[in-house]
Amino acid sequence: MATGKPVVMKPVVILGVFVADTAYRADRQPRMGETILGNSFKLGPGGKGSNQAVAAGKLGADITFLTRLGVDAFADMAKQTWNDAGVKSAVIDTPDSYTGAAYIFVEEGTGNNAIIVSPGAAMLISPADIEAHAELIRSAGVFVTQLEQPIDAALKALEIARGAGVTTILNPAPAASLPDRIYTLCDYVTPNETEAEGLTGINVSSIDDARRAADALLAKGVGAVIVTLGEKGALLHTRDRSEHVDAFNAGPVVETTGAGDAFNGGLAAALAKGVEPLEAVRFACAVAGISVTRHGTAPSMPTLQEVEALLVKA
């Protein structure tokens, strides 16, 4: 992203969830009623929104993360994680609930994963909470949210951001049924193949399939669609352009759990620096490409220097 010109970094605000990741690695998943021995266990920071904020923070973005936490040891972990990554936080403490947690199974041989998320206090995020932080959202250059917190809170935040002229990104994960009016509030929607199919009913198994699904999302009122395609990279699709960006090979794939969050955090950081959309997607692909060479989610996020080195090498 280096241009030689002074860079004006617009603030990024991300609404989302923090959860403590409990990650189990084994040769396979157990069947129902079966107990198997795992190969390893690790406790670490996670949650899509938090991971995206950490990714953006490590890339040098001026980032604030908005969420609810319990008052417990996992909340302490969250705050330390954000502090280490340069992420500011707007936390609503919720002592009558708990900080979220996630079960993550990682298949040893492939790095593929299966996840159960219990968001805890973050499921209590309400439109009233969003209204209370409206000025924070309006102050952003880029606003990002996902679907791990209640959809009505995400919708309210997107409405406030759109009304203030903030660039809006919806990462529609995990897949959920969405109200039609949410699409018109989104400058960018960033589904993966599975989420694109869930939103459109179009099976996405090729780049052409991704284009058809993206057209369906454009018809709903989205400004631009970015379909992430795993090892095939990503597709940027708008009403007047459709560009496929290859994935970056930064080394052997260790774990893919944080790749989507790395991509979205990288995209937000690039757009906040005024990078044009295709280059922002390329930058985000590089961020994701490095993340999959490392274990964990938040701990896998690269620095700006690492990403720029990969872009130069490529």
Binding residues for ATP are 192, 228-233, 260-261
If you count them, how many residues does the chain have? 314
Residue numbers in the known binding site for substrate are 19-21, 47-51, 148, 261
Q: Which two tokens stand for residue 95?
A: 């002592």
Secondary structure of 58-79 in HEC code, one letter for each residue: HCCCCEEEEEEECCCHHHHHHH
Catalytic residue among 62, 187, 209, 261: 261
Residues 6+ positions from 96 with CB-CB distance below 8 Å: none
Packing angle of the helix pair 193-200, 207-219 (nearest 10 deg): 40
3-state class (DSSP) for residue 207: helix
Residue numbers in the known binding site for K(+) are 257, 291, 294, 296, 300
261 in catalytic set? yes
Residue numbers in the known binding site are 19-21, 47-51, 148, 192, 228-233, 257, 260-261, 291, 294, 296, 300
* CA max distance for the chain: 60
DSSP category for residue 123: G
Give the residue among 90, 99, 50 at the shortest CA–CA distance from 72.
99
Beta bridge partners of 99: 120
207 vs 242: CA distance, rounded Å: 10
237 vs 234: CA distance, rounded Å: 10
3-state class (DSSP) for residue 262: helix
Structural element, H or E, at residue 193: helix 193-200
**Catalytic amino acids?**
261
